[in-house]
Chain A
């Protein structure tokens, strides 16, 4: 029998595999401690010890976190989805149109989008189904364009980003849609968005780890040619991944509309970049093949901590936008740097 001796250096290198999620966790702890220190210096108060701030932070990021779960899967395949923010806007405004009540303050609510058709006071399942179907259709179009026409994901989803926003603006010609039913508002009430995020995140972490779908998602991102030669239907799988991402963006749109009690066409602007940033900060590699929902969850907490931290320190909102942009670029630079370091190690 052949004796395949492996030298010690290789053994050592293999034993030293450091999960990316641990880096994200260490980053989260460090950033949280820095803000805690700054909070004491600037405001002479605790930041981390304030449950109200933590509650607001987690609620703020939960909606984008739902999108990030889908975006993570897209990025693992080596793709990108720029359309999720616009899908949030389109879904929110159209689905809420199917969730309006017939009365407001005891008066007929004739401003309801479907007042004339009588489609008011509908059960929750209707706006839910409409919203998710919209996300599914947008995702299917994204996936089909990318998989079968071979255009770069960046271009395909950029087109969807513009078109979906156009649909959102066209639907009510820029008017807000308000007065949703009580059952619809339950989706965004209290801690429900966080619970929905947690459910979605746990489900897809398990799916990515234990199912054929997960294995093929990583394989396609890692080496699409190898995946194809191994018999995986790469095109069909990509369509499925983008469809799931579209549906999760739609779910985020439903939750956002429900939480705000009003849907506007401008909802979800820049959510796609926040979601991508959460994923990349959490160690999901933009070249594909690497990352996890756990990492994205940690990235989401880092993102939330930074934003809440700056708010707590009373940093001007304009500066916050600038800092957010810098964080996104820094996360991508860190990813590129990681790739280079790996390539140099061989």
Chain B
């Protein structure tokens, strides 16, 4: 695991009697883009919630950037350089773009504790740079997020992650609620992350998108990681076979 940015071993999560995630062994190399696919309830989001510290795992180990980690919450993961774009976006609708990008890590001009004076110019400038880097165009940065389209909101959420993620970005179905044009915008941003060498885990139901954007595809089924496939060595039908349980690479989860 010399170049592995993220590794899990035997990652398991039980909700009472429900075994939502079972012994997931996963590895992500530096600069690599990996998709996680699977049916609803397959364990994809559960897997991400354990990695990012949103939930505490039942058992298993996680290594991030060469260190074994035990994040107490998503903030710990964020501070370690792992950013996640959640399905619900986690944006404050009434704040403008710079305020959302810097929420919780504002640039301060004068430190007066909770009444510290914000450096609004610096945050605005950094926002413009961050959006430019990720190829996001927002006509008026000073407008509240609630005045923006779903696509623009998603772009802001991704730009926020991309601006601060030093080591890994995780996106949980980033285009699920978007139209065709907006989906294309988000996909372009993901491609720009690839060219910048930022590793990515993409959860998606859209196989066309997955084949377009990632290097490797991991399939979950009923809480088990059932396939780990190189994009060039598989196709849509093959993936569907793993998703539906016709095929499995995991002996413990064969044909469940």
Contact = CB atoms under 8 A, between A and B. Distances in A.
Interface string B142-182: 01101111001001000000000000000000000000010
B135 A213 contact: no
Given A4-B188, A207-B115, A210-B120, A231 B92 contact: no
B208 interface: no
B117 A231 contact: no
A213 B110 CA distance: 13
Interface residues of A, number: 38
A248 interface: no
A5 B181 contact: yes
Interface in A216-239: 216, 218-219, 221-223, 225-227, 229-232, 237
Contacts of A218: 92, 94-95, 99
Nearest to A211: B115
A222 B93 contact: yes
Interface string A4-17: 11110011011101
Contacts of A290: 94
B92 A222 contact: yes
Interface string B25-67: 0000000000000000000000000000000000000000000
Contacts of A240: 114
Given A215-B99, A231-B75, A231-B105, A14 B148 contact: yes
B135 A3 contact: yes
Nearest to A289: B94
B90 A223 contact: yes
B147 A17 contact: yes
A212 interface: yes
Interface string B85-109: 0101111111100010001111010
Interface in A283-299: 289-290
B116 interface: yes
A110 B116 CA distance: 49
Contact of B140 (A15, A216, A237): A15
Contacts of A225: 88, 90
User: Size class of B's contact patch?
Assistant: 35 or more
Contacts, number: 118
B147 A14 contact: yes
Given A4-B188, A15-B140, A237 B95 contact: no
Contacts of B75: 229, 231
A14 B142 CA distance: 10
Contact of B92 (A11, A227, A237, A346): A227
A342 B146 CA distance: 9
B144 to A, nearest CB: 7
Contact of A210 (B95, B118, B139): B118
A231 B104 CA distance: 5
29 contacts: A3-B135, A4-B137, A4-B155, A6-B152, A10-B139, A10-B152, A14-B139, A14-B140, A14-B147, A14-B148, A17-B143, A17-B144, A210-B117, A211-B117, A213-B114, A215-B103, A215-B106, A218-B92, A219-B99, A222-B92, A222-B93, A222-B95, A226-B90, A226-B91, A227-B104, A230-B90, A230-B104, A231-B78, A232-B104
Interface of A: 1-7, 10-11, 13-15, 17, 207, 210-213, 215-216, 218-219, 221-223, 225-227, 229-232, 237, 240, 289-290, 342, 346
Interface of B: 74-75, 78, 86, 88-95, 99, 103-106, 108, 112, 114-118, 120, 134-140, 143-144, 146-149, 152, 155, 181, 185, 188-189, 191-192
